Amino acid sequence: MKIEQVHTRPDPYAPYLLSQAIRAGGLVYVSGQAGVGDDGAIVGADDFDAQAEQAFSNLRRALEAGGSSLRHVVKVTIFLTSMANFGKIVELRRRWFAPPYPADTIVEVSALYSPDAMIEIEAIAAVAGG
């Protein structure tokens, strides 16, 4: 099986020796996407809505770079630092995904890679047309 690293420009994950995504066997495996801007900094340190929008936007960019899209996501895992934002996630899923909605796991964690990060999203998607 051929395994390919997916690159985005810019790639804020490169300094950490992480791949934005890996394409293998007709699937794209996307690393956790946080509310990080192109400069590598968290957007809106205390603003869940801003971070969530950026995280979903980053997810879309990584999927597209891997030859897929939000429409082809089959499994998503969303990490939150507070389940108080669960209702917002349901609305965001409705806006960013379409039926049939992907399988999903939502997990509350005590912390993410940065103390300012409030959300991280990882996904598995089918390669478009594959």
Instruction: Tell me the pLDDT tens digit for each residue of 12-55.
Output: 777 888 889 999 999 999 999 999 998 889 999 899 999 999 99
Residue 12 is predicted with a pLDDT of 78
Q: Which of 64, 63, 130, 78 is nearest to 109 (CA)?
A: 78
Instruction: Kindly tell me if the per-residue pLDDT of 106 is higher than 70.
Output: yes
Question: What band does 130 get if pLDDT is binned at 50, 70 and 90?
Answer: low
Q: Domain range holding 43?
A: 3-126
**Rounded CA gap, 121 and 119, in Å?**
7
Whole-structure pTM value = 0.94
**Sign (positive or negative) of CA dihedral 128, 126, 91, 111:** negative
For 68, other C-beta atoms within 10 Å of its C-beta total 28
Residue 39 is predicted with a pLDDT of 87
| Domain total of the chain | 1
Which amino acid, residue 63? L
Residue 117 is predicted with a pLDDT of 97
Instruction: Tell me the pLDDT tens digit for each residue of 45-103.
Output: 899 999 999 999 999 999 999 999 999 999 999 999 999 999 999 999 999 999 999 99
Provide the CATH number for the domain around residue 58: 3.30.1330.40
Residue 74 is predicted with a pLDDT of 98
Instruction: Kindly tell me if the per-residue pLDDT of 128 is higher than 80.
Output: no
